[in-house]
């Protein structure tokens, strides 16, 4: 009997493989739907766009999402709302692009890049505390 595994262990391993297959299939279906939605939305405004480029972007985004989900802390992609108030001395979650450096107060006209915020620490604790790692990059219209 040494080295034999109980039947319950075999069932658990088989069940885990089935769950992995369902998750993988769901992940693949989601990627395909996202790719198609992006192609459909972008084709009218950018007819020369290559589906391979969209597939590469979606693949990288999905890989990033998996990595974010595995972190002990939580990472959040953040972006301000359009027309959100900007005060240079108080706003820490966004910064103006080149040409907006001298604007002290204004409103967000458009978002160039989203920002990144970390919630919690590397030990899985303090999930109520956040730190802006990278501010959103925005174009500010002065008031």
What's the token pair of residue 110?
Answer: 């458009």
Which pLDDT score, from 0 to 100, does residue 3 have? 53
Domain ranges of the chain: 1-70, 72-143
CB-based burial, 7-21: b 16+ in 10 Å, e otherwise: eeeeeeeeeeeeeee
Q: Computed from CA positions of residues 119, 31, 35, 58, in that sequence, does the dihedral angle turn out positive or negative?
A: positive
What's the token pair of residue 105?
Answer: 């107060």
**pLDDT tens by residue, 14-68:** 666 777 777 778 888 889 999 999 999 998 998 888 999 999 999 998 888 777 7
Contact predicate 83/107, CB 8 Å: yes
Q: Specify burial of residue 115 (Cβ count, 10 A radius: 0-12, 13-18, 19+).
A: buried
**pLDDT tens by residue, 89-112:** 898 899 999 888 889 999 999 999
- By percentage, how much of the chain surpasses pLDDT 70? 88
What is the H or E stretch that residue 41 is in?
helix 7-42
**pLDDT tens by residue, 110-119:** 999 999 999 9
- By percentage, how much of the chain surpasses pLDDT 90? 40
Single pTM value for the model: 0.54
């Amino acid at each position: 009997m040494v080295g034999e595994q109980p039947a319950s262990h075999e069932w658990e391993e088989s069940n885990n493989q089935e769950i992995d297959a369902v998750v993988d299939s769901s992940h693949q279906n989601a990627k395909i739907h996202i790719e198609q939605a992006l192609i459909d939305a972008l084709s009218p405004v950018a007819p020369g766009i290559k589906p391979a480029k969209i597939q590469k972007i979606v693949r990288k985004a999905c890989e990033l999402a998996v990595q974010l989900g595995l972190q002990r802390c939580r990472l959040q992609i953040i972006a301000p709302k359009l027309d959100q108030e900007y005060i240079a001395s108080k706003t820490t979650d966004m910064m103006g692009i080149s040409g907006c450096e001298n604007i002290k107060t204004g409103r967000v006209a458009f978002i160039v890049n989203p920002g990144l915020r970390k919630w919690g620490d590397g030990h899985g604790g303090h999930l109520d505390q956040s730190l802006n790692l990278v501010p959103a990059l925005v174009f500010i219209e002065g008031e």
